[in-house]
Amino acid sequence: MLYTSTRDNSIRVSAAQAIAQGISEEGGLFVPCELPAFSIEKIKEMAGMSYIDRAKTVLREFLTDFTEDELDYCVSGAYRADKFSSPAIAPTVNVCGNKNILELWHGPTCAFKDMALQLLPYLMTVSAKKTAEGKTIVILVATSGDTGKAALEGFKDVDKTKILVFYPVDGVSPMQKLQMTTQEGGNVAVCAINGNFDDAQSAVKSIFTNTEIKHTLAEKNMMFSSANSINWGRLVPQIVYYFSTYCDMVNMGNITAGEEINIVVPTGNFGNILAGYYAKKMGVPIKKLICASNSNNVLTDFLKTGTYDRNRDFYTTTSPSMDILISSNLERLLYHISGEDAQLVSSLMASLSDEGKYSVSADIIGKIQSVFDAGFASEADVMNTIKTHFDKYNYLCDTHTAVAVKVYDDYVSATGDDIPTVIDSTASPYKFSKSVLTAVLGGKTPELDEFDMVDELNKTTGAEVPTPLASLKSKRVRFNNVCNKEDMSKMVFSLLKLD
Ligand SMILES: *Cc1c(COP(=O)(O)O)cnc(C)c1O
């Protein structure tokens, strides 16, 4: 299996190269040249397997330059039973009727990013051994909250790696901030920036492609890579759980093998939902992928009209991991849907970067709409949804999951399409205790500090508090750097002690 770039499809690299490098030299994203096909018989066979074996079955097709031993080392290390609070790793739970929830937050940082970022360090170190000649890999991360912590936890003390995380100073929840600033490990650093996630992401991308910085690193036998979902190694582990939830839906008797399901995804950078698209293309019987946004609804507008326009107000919401106006992975979808038209993708991305917007043809948006539906939830919708779902079904959603649940309910009302459906749940409610407790109490926010808020939410709802969050209380804050976005590259040098 070889990979090419969305902006230059004459490029051919191995999986190891794509993962170690993170982003293609001309700024495009790596994509597989072709997709492996799974028959329904093969998917039925996977229903009898553990999560680890399901993962190996899918990943084997994409990582053809990894040996069977390497694959086993990576996957078995990532999804070790003691790192996840559910033996199923990513359990599917029936809420009522055809409404099911795929819980992707049982990993060590309590958000779905763990599903990929527990595996990525293994993939990265094996890939670097194959392609990067003993260089130390410097992982630069821009985070809207959850990627930062999940990447820090995945890469901490991993030999031959360093990791630097930048987060928007006012753009993350108190729990997310504490998770990052208390991070342990000898190869980690964390810095807040005065700006929002898009500022952080753009600055990281420009540091990546800055040749002067690259040379300085090369002299020290270091190279940059990315743990954001622009890295193929972040996306490929996410394809697995769409196979896995389908298998579980069959095992639970919710569907018979071959029957179609809908998937609903709370979306920010378009990585998670794109993994669902790949799963569909590979043979998982998925009818519609429903893209759920919060008030930063740039994707809803694009999927409804074919015009992507980021020139709009940016809102800081209660679902901060989705506060994004530049959804990087849409580039990969445009590449596939346009029939691998790298020239078109390059010109759309140039216009996004120059004017902040682009429009696609009626043909392209028509093809996209045959697979994707879209909607968004306001802040009031999120609060109401958390409360009604808890009161009616005794199921406690976090703020991101609530966005998806609301958009799904609207979709069913508008279309009548109520076939068996899986809604991705992307974070533990305890990562956003203040918002979730306020919602459950019908709009009253108690005057409590973060950890008392956690206790109160536990008392009010009975939902279990994840151990990794409870244990943060006794941890020391190690990082309190703040910098301006213009100074990020200076900060990188200083954190790497190269200045
Ligand atoms: C990252 C994140 C999302 C958005 O996922 P994308 O792959 O960026 O679309 C949604 N919910 C939570 C809790 C997240 O951490």
Ligand 1: which atom is nearest the Cα of residue 105?
13
Residue 212 has pLDDT above 90, yes or no: no
**pLDDT average, residue stretch 240-268:** 98
What distance in angstroms lies between residue 413's CA and the mean position of ligand 1's atoms? Answer: 25
Residue 83 a catalytic site member = no
* Residues 381-429 pLDDT 10s: 999 999 999 999 999 999 999 999 999 999 999 999 999 999 999 999 9
* Residues 445-460 pLDDT 10s: 999 998 999 999 999 9
Mutate to test the pocket of ligand 1, among 104, 146, 291, 382 (most ligand atoms within 8 A of CB): 146
pLDDT band at 228 (very low <50, low <70, confident <90, very high): confident
From CA 90, how far away is CA 272, in angstroms rounded? 14
Please provide the average confidence, as pLDDT, over all residues in the chain.
Answer: 95
What distance in angstroms lies between residue 405's CA and the mean position of ligand 1's atoms? Answer: 15
From residue 373, give the alpha-carbon distance in Å to each of 140, 194, 241, 377: 33, 35, 20, 14
Q: What is the pLDDT of residue 173?
A: 86
Mutate to test the pocket of ligand 1, among 235, 272, 278 (most ligand atoms within 8 A of CB): 272
Residues facing residue 359 across a β-bridge: 307
Catalytic option among 56, 83, 99, 113: 113
Residues 6+ away with beta carbon under 8 Å from 366: none
- Dmax (CA) of the chain: 61
* Residues 199-208 pLDDT 10s: 998 888 888 8
* Residues 127-150 pLDDT 10s: 999 997 778 999 999 998 889 999
Q: Whose CA is nearest to atom 11 of ligand 1?
A: 426
CA angle 63, 259, 248 (to 5 degrees): 60
CA 88 to chain centroid, in Å, comes to 20
**In terms of pLDDT, which residue wins out, 373 or 196?**
373
* Residues 293-329 pLDDT 10s: 999 999 999 999 999 999 999 999 999 999 999 999 9
Mutate to test the pocket of ligand 1, among 426, 428, 430, 435 (most ligand atoms within 8 A of CB): 426
What distance in angstroms lies between residue 238's CA and the mean position of ligand 1's atoms? Answer: 12
At residue 271, the 3 state secondary structure works out as: helix
* Euclidean distance between the first and the last CA atom of the chain, given in angstroms as a whole number: 40
Ligand 1 pocket (Cβ < 6 Å) reads 111-113, 146, 229, 266-272, 321-322, 400, 426-427
Ligand 1: which atom is nearest the Cα of residue 401?
11
Ligand 1: which atom is nearest the Cα of residue 427?
13
What distance in angstroms lies between residue 221's CA and the mean position of ligand 1's atoms? Answer: 33
pLDDT band at 494 (very low <50, low <70, confident <90, very high): confident
Number of H helices, E strands in the chain: 22, 16
Q: What is the pLDDT of residue 144?
A: 81
CA angle 459, 463, 466 (to 5 degrees): 105
What distance in angstroms lies between residue 426's CA and the mean position of ligand 1's atoms? Answer: 7
Residue 484 has pLDDT above 90, yes or no: yes
